[in-house]
Amino acid sequence: MKKMPEWFQGKLYSKGGVVSVDYLKKGDVHQKKIKMDKYALSMYHLIRGYQVIGKSRNMNALRGIAWIRENYQDICGELFPVKEDKKTMLKMIESSTSNFRNGIYRIFGNK
């Protein structure tokens, strides 16, 4: 049975649900529906909440993405598509504050 990590500060839903995710295909915006259990949906909404208020670099938002990547590999790429190549992402991390950079390395491993 899955359980939420200790640092999770969101609401744990009693049941799962479906979310719609926008994606581009040949220049047109399409939507894909993704079914999630209560754990994935709870974590996804926590992450999206941080993104909506402009705090997508919050440590718990980043931990949440890592948690979904680890526990829901089948939907992670659809929920959080990589929009930048690895080199660009590493450059962005290196230019960040040391606390943020060290937090990223703790979550995702050293470069």
The pLDDT score that the predictor gives to residue 2 is 74
- Residue-wise pLDDT for 23-42, tens only, equals 767 667 778 899 999 999 99
Residue 54 domain flag: yes
Tell me which residue has tokens 């990547």.
69
Whether 74 and 21 map to the same domain: the answer is yes
Residue type, 48: R
The pLDDT score that the predictor gives to residue 1 is 52
Whether 22 and 64 map to the same domain: the answer is yes
Q: Which of 13, 17, 5 is nearest to 68 (CA)?
A: 5
Whether 72 and 89 map to the same domain: the answer is no
The pLDDT score that the predictor gives to residue 82 is 64
Q: Is 0.85 surpassed by the pTM of this model?
A: no
Residue 96 domain flag: yes
Three-class SS of residue 18?
strand
Residue 7 domain flag: no
Q: Which percentage of the chain shows pLDDT scores above 70?
A: 78
The pLDDT score that the predictor gives to residue 42 is 96
Number of neighbours of residue 58 by Cβ within 10 angstroms: 18
Whether 22 and 66 map to the same domain: the answer is yes
Residue 56 domain flag: yes
Residue 67 domain flag: yes
Domain of 76?
A: 17-80
Task: Please provide the average confidence, as pLDDT, over all residues in the chain.
Answer: 82
Which two three-digit tokens encode residue 98?
Answer: 């040391």
Q: Is the pLDDT of residue 72 over 90?
A: yes
Residue 76 domain flag: yes
